[in-house]
Structure 1
Amino acid sequence: MRATLPLAAAYEPPSAAVVVLAGILALLITTVGWPTLRHIIAMAHLGGYATAASFVGKVTGVELTRGRALLKYEHPGSWLAKFAVAWSGYTGPPAFGLLGSFLLVKGQVEAVLWVSLVLLFLLLLSVANWFGRIAVILTGVALWAVARYAPDGLRELFAVTWVWFLLIGGVVNTVDLRRIRRAMKADKKPDKKSDVVKLWQLAWIPPPIGVALFWLLSVAALVVGAGVMLGLVEMPSAPAAPAAPTATPT
């Protein structure tokens, strides 16, 4: 008989042991596989773009290549629309990871996987290049296979690792931005297209400050998400329903 990891009862959060094990796995996977797995974080980056753009305009297409993530959208040309989109890319992966931690603490392990699949499907509808389509499809197939066929314990461990990966990958993504900008500066190639340059053009936020803000927000999301999953940060609960009136004997 194949041994499986124990799964918490329905609607119970994963145990602290599973959360810690998943965090270690996510850290190792991110460290070793970042050159390849960064494309998955780029999908969440594009998802952040697309979410903001859908509120302020209309997404006309996205592209995911080996070197960059690009959004094409129509907007009313307002300062707020441009600022929202520029701000939403690097905050996308940490935000999705944080939302995943909120679902996990409510015991919604399967919801984490199926919601991720729905978001990937919506992203696929807008991807305009073949590399991006193949990357999104392969990621979606992996999530679907786990959600549909994996044993309960393995599915739980995968979902928690997935959330950790989004949170950790969000931090590494901002560190990568700093590394790329330094390399471009060393090669005397000015950065003209990154989100921090757009924030400088829109709000006079100096690019180094923009990188630091993205990093601080991603670290804050990682700390909060970890605290939520480990039970160190208590989620607000819904108010209790008022007790039904009792009949008074006459």
Structure 2
Amino acid sequence: MDSTAALALPDLWDRLTGTQQDPDLWVVLATGVVALAVVVPRPLWRVARNAITIAHEGGHGLMALLTGRQLTGIRLHSDTSGLTVSRGKPYGLGMILTAASGYTAPPLLGLGGAALLSAGRITLLLWVATALLVAMLVMVRNAYGALTVFLTGGTFLLVSWLTGPQVQAAFAYAVVWFLLLGGVRPAFELQAKRVRGAAGDSDADQLARLTSAPAGLWLFLFHAVSLCSLMGGGRWLLDL
């Protein structure tokens, strides 16, 4: 290892583990408004929802691995639907946790991101997100999904390497606000589909078949996790 690399590694570690200055309150508020403006209007949401699907399917995949299941592949589709396939017992706690982790993953990721930002760990958040996206890219099994994850991960990488602290902070806060706000809408969309009888194989219905709890109770859990994450994460972001 040459001297330049030897000097760069400590600097790199300090940059990763160090804290960064919090942005001004107006930046925090502005990024929240931008995220809300993306989540609420249907035309923008139809495009932005792809990012929520990445987090949703990534949640299924990560939980499958954590519970000892064999993750065989993830597919992301242009209609913002997705599919995560894992091998293992088709019943039991591992399967239940895997099925329950989809709708809860985006808001919980947002909550974790808000905790990092409240501690001034902006760079760490960007790098952790990039690492998770790279790991997910390995498991994606269709071209559209690979392109979506690649572009998303590339955006995080470019922002973390090529932009200054203020841009990084604004980007990180916008992403976390989007996960918190965007994590709320899918559960309401699922509820509307179930009222129309159009979601018979949803995560909530799969959980109902895996357990003795009705699908409505699992849907309530999705609502509770997303709304509580939004309230808690919002308080951290706003430093209340």
Task: Please state how far the C-alpha of 1:134 moved relative to its aligned partner.
Answer: 0.8
Q: Out of 26, 32, 38, which is 1:23 matched to?
A: 32
Task: Please state how far the C-alpha of 1:204 moved relative to its aligned partner.
Answer: 2.6
Task: Please state how far the C-alpha of 1:144 moved relative to its aligned partner.
Answer: 1.7
CA distance in 1, matches of 2:158, 2:112: 22
Residue 118 of structure 1 corresponds to 131
Q: Out of 196, 203, 210, which is 1:195 matched to?
A: 203
Give aligned pairs, total: 219
Tell me: CA distance 1:22–1:149, structure 2 relative to 1, closer, same or farther (3 Å): same
CA distance in 2, matches of 1:54, 1:127: 15
Contact 1:26 1:165 in 2 (8 A): yes
CA distance in 1, matches of 2:223, 2:78: 22
Residue 182 of structure 2 corresponds to 169
Residue 248 of structure 1 corresponds to none
Map 1:1-250; keep pairs closer than 5 Å: 10-32=19-41, 33-56=44-67, 57-67=69-79, 68-183=81-196, 185=197, 189=198, 191-232=199-240
Contact 1:14 1:105 in 2 (8 A): no
Q: Structure 2, unaligned stretches of length 5 or more?
A: 1-17
CA distance in 1, matches of 2:55, 2:95: 19
CA distance in 1, matches of 2:209, 2:141: 27
Structure with bigger gyration radius:
1
Residue 240 of structure 1 corresponds to none
Sequence identity (%)? 32
Contact 2:35 2:174 in 1 (8 A): yes
Residue 125 of structure 1 aligns to a residue whose secondary structure is helix
CA distance in 1, matches of 2:194, 2:78: 17
CA distance in 2, matches of 1:196, 1:78: 15
Residue 73 of structure 2 aligns to a residue whose secondary structure is strand
More off after superposition, 114-123 vs 71-80: 71-80
CA distance in 1, matches of 2:93, 2:19: 43
Task: Please state how far the C-alpha of 1:171 moved relative to its aligned partner.
Answer: 0.2
CA distance in 2, matches of 1:181, 1:77: 23
CA distance in 1, matches of 2:22, 2:193: 38
Residue 139 of structure 2 aligns to a residue whose secondary structure is coil
Task: Please state how far the C-alpha of 1:152 moved relative to its aligned partner.
Answer: 2.0
CA distance in 2, matches of 1:128, 1:10: 37
Tell me: CA distance 1:53–1:10, structure 2 relative to 1, closer, same or farther (3 Å): closer
Contact 1:14 1:104 in 2 (8 A): no
Task: Please state how far the C-alpha of 1:77 moved relative to its aligned partner.
Answer: 4.2
Task: Please state how far the C-alpha of 1:122 moved relative to its aligned partner.
Answer: 0.7
Contact 2:22 2:169 in 1 (8 A): no
Residue 241 of structure 1 corresponds to none
Aligned Cα RMSD in Å?
1.7
More off after superposition, 105-114 vs 123-132: 105-114
Task: Please state how far the C-alpha of 1:15 moved relative to its aligned partner.
Answer: 3.6
Deviations 1:67-110 (A, max 9, x none): 42111111244411111011100000011111101110111111
CA distance in 2, matches of 1:180, 1:14: 40
Runs of 4+ in 1 over 4 A off after TM superposition: none
Task: Please state how far the C-alpha of 1:182 moved relative to its aligned partner.
Answer: 3.4
Contact 1:58 1:75 in 2 (8 A): yes
2:28 aligned partner, one-letter code:
V
2:75 aligned partner, one-letter code:
E
